[in-house]
Amino acid sequence: MCNFNKYDEETKAAIHLLMKKNSEAVGGTNFLLGLQEALRDQKPHSLTAGKCQINSKNVVIKWNKVVFKDKLMVLEDILLQRKSSEDLDFNILANVSDKKRKKIINMVRTIAPIKFLVTPKNKEDGEGFNFKVFEKIEDNYVKLNPIFMAMFFCSADYIKKALKYEVV
């Protein structure tokens, strides 16, 4: 999931374009990496921050709802089980027991309305961007947003590789 090298060329190109667009919207690669580092340094997990805001040197990320620890644990459990997944398009509801399915659906309902707004501190650096936790939510299909995954759960190395990737 967070191993950029495992993806096929088409997926790498899509992630590269998405990350490049977002880094340009906040002032460049270093600003985006600085924000991701600030998110990773937050203890406990940045999603549980009471202010619903994290500041880096040049960029601010805000969101509209605190994620409680129980919902975060369900999300982290899903990610841990699918850590080696090479498929960016994986369904978090696939291959789960009924008991886990209920927990996952409750977590999805709770955190789906959350919207993240990323803005540079200096307006001249860019207009910023926004994203949600899930890219797609249907009856039996829920797909995580790759930007959300990269910002909150993947390493800085993942973002660096995505930005340096050369589309053929």
pLDDT one digit per residue (tens) for the chain, 168 residues: 788 888 888 888 999 999 999 999 999 999 999 999 999 898 888 999 889 999 999 999 999 999 999 999 999 988 887 665 555 667 888 878 888 899 999 999 999 999 999 999 999 999 999 999 999 998 889 988 889 989 999 889 999 999 999 887
pLDDT value, residue 86: 56
Taking every pair of Cα atoms in the chain, the longest distance, rounded to a whole number of angstroms, is 50
Q: What's the Cα-to-Cα distance from 112 to each of 34, 116, 136, rounded to whole Å?
A: 26, 11, 10
pLDDT value, residue 88: 60
Q: What are phi and psi of 51, to 5 degrees?
A: -80, -15
Q: What are phi and psi of 60, to 5 degrees?
A: -125, 135
Q: What are phi and psi of 103, to 5 degrees?
A: -65, -45
C-alpha span between 89 and 110 (Å, rounded): 21
pLDDT value, residue 108: 94
Edge-first strand order for the sheet with 129-132 is 53-55, 59-63, 115-120, 129-132
C-alpha span between 88 and 91 (Å, rounded): 9
Q: What's the Cα-to-Cα distance from 102 to each of 98, 109, 139, rounded to whole Å?
A: 6, 11, 13
**CB atoms inside a 10 Å sphere around CB 114:** 18
pLDDT value, residue 89: 67
